[in-house]
Amino acid sequence: MEQATVFLLVLTLALGAHGLSPKKCSLMGEWINDLGSTMKILAVNGNGDFSGTYLTAVTATTNEIKESPLQGSLQRKNQKGQPTFGFTVNWTFSDSVTVFTGQCFVDKNGKEVLKTMWLLRSHMDSIENDWKATRVGINIFTRVPS
């Protein structure tokens, strides 16, 4: 085979393989959930650690809502482009903490979606009230169009 033909063959195979590789889901960027809450996730480092900010649309308190920091961890082993993760929001305007855990999926339309579950722990003044301290729920996040 001529050199030029070999080159074209290799190029075609390389481009074909690239085109077939499935889209990966990345946590970085701005997201909105089904409640209208938004979050911004900054860079994810080599260990999978990330940070960002969360602006909730709702609150279990009567306090004025303020943007709050989040700290998270992305699992990097055997994730096939759809990684699991967890993050904590330490609310600046209340005495509660929420932990989220979920997975970053690419749906059938090629859109990235974060399917999460959360636990919201509210502060209780006595141990007798511990039974009512934790709420649980799900949130689905999609990218804020840029």
Q: Which residues form the interface with ligand BTN (CB under 6 A)?
A: 33, 35, 37, 56, 58-61, 91, 94, 96, 98, 118, 120, 137, 139
Single out the residue of 56, 61, 125 nearest to residue 94, CA to CA: 61
**Based on CB atoms, which residue is closest to ligand BTN, 81 or 137?**
137
What residues does 40 pair with on adjacent strands? Answer: 30, 53
**Based on CB atoms, which residue is closest to ligand BTN, 66 or 76?**
66
Taking the complex as a whole, how short is the minimal distance between the CB of residue 21 and ligand BTN, in angstroms? 33
Q: Could you please report the per-residue DSSP string of 12-35?
A: HHHHHHHHHSPPPP---EEEEETT
**Based on CB atoms, which residue is closest to ligand BTN, 25 or 33?**
33
**Based on CB atoms, which residue is closest to ligand BTN, 43 or 138?**
138
Taking the complex as a whole, how short is the minimal distance between the CB of residue 131 and ligand BTN, in angstroms? 18
Which residue's beta carbon is nearest to the bound ligand BTN? 37
Q: Around Cβ 33, how many Cβ atoms within 10 Å?
A: 20
Helix (H), strand (E) at residue 39: strand 38-44
